[in-house]
Structure 1
Amino acid sequence: MSYKIPVLFVCTGNSARSQIAEALLRHTDSQNFEVASAGTNPKPINPKALDVLEKAGVSTEGIYSKSLETLADRRFDVVITLCDKAAQECQLLANPAEVLAWNFEDPSASSDPKAFEHTLQAIHERIKLFVLVKTKRN
């Protein structure tokens, strides 16, 4: 497959969930997907998000927090929101072909010491299914 499907992950802060999702999709299938992430109200990346990715053997190279506005000139075939708040605020995106709403609790707001690990596992399971569905069509 020479065409890479452009995918954008969006959450409010672009500090944990969308960063984890971006790194996981790139790690899982960078051959078929071109991936980015952004936030509706970006904040610095939570160090625990980077730590959990690195412990899982997933590269964090080149990921950084960014706003939706910085990606306004790019076209995405699939936009995946990772929280209900971002799903509501995402109406400003220009005509993505497909919008998926995946609602994951913010691990930064959890008192569970394993919240980031659980979030990584849950997002990874969803991404594996997403890749299977999207690449099966070929």
Structure 2
Amino acid sequence: MFKTAQQLYFLCTENSCRSQMAEGFAKQLLPADWTIQSAGVEVHGLNPKAVQVMAEVGIDISAQQSTLIDPDYLQHCDLVVTLCGDARDRCPVTPPSVKKLHWPLPDPAQATGDEAAQLVVFRQVRDEIKTRIQQLV
């Protein structure tokens, strides 16, 4: 889909799980000349289970921080990927030149059951994010 240098933004409601995992994968899998960030329409901190499941595949996102959408960065993006309907619906308006993708992935932070069951959901979402990022180039 994209091959040359790009500015990419992953957006989610809280910027705590899905968008953070996407940022981590993108920084590892996409070309080094890409500028990649993630943000949310709210800030809720980095989910420890997201950190854990990413570490399982060799990606350390523990230093990433939950941040609010930066309107200036957003306006200069080549590609914006929303990972939940709330972020898609509440995302500020962007110029027509900004390509938008929507990946309607379940929120792993809403997973129920014991810790093992919750981690299964985190891993499923993590693996789906990896597959979609690999398809970007």
Name the residue aligned to 2:72.
73
- Corresponding residue SS for 2:136: helix
Shift in Å, 1:81: 0.1
Does residue 99 of structure 2 align to residue 98 of structure 1? Answer: yes
% same residue: 29
Larger RCO (CA under 8 A, 6+ residues apart): 2
Shift in Å, 1:59: 2.7
Query: Could you tell me how far apart the structure 2 residues matched to 1:18 and 1:48 are?
Result: 13
Deviation digits for residues 70-92 of structure 1 (CA, Å, limit 9, x no counterpart): x22221110000001111001x1
Number of residue pairs aligned between Structure 1 and Structure 2: 127
- Corresponding residue SS for 1:73: helix
Q: TM-score, normalised by structure 2?
A: 0.85
Name the residue aligned to 1:122.
128
Does the 8 Å CA contact 2:8/2:35 hold for their aligned counterparts? yes
Deviation digits for residues 30-79 of structure 1 (CA, Å, limit 9, x no counterpart): 424211000011111100001111111013264110001xx222211100
Does the 8 Å CA contact 2:51/2:62 hold for their aligned counterparts? no
Does residue 43 of structure 2 align to residue 42 of structure 1? Answer: yes
CA RMSD of aligned residues (A): 1.7
Contiguous gaps of at least 5 residues in structure 2? none
Query: Could you tell me how far apart the structure 2 residues matched to 1:48 and 1:13 are?
Result: 14
Q: TM-score, normalised by structure 1?
A: 0.85
Query: Could you tell me how far apart the structure 1 residues matched to 2:77 and 2:104 are?
Result: 20
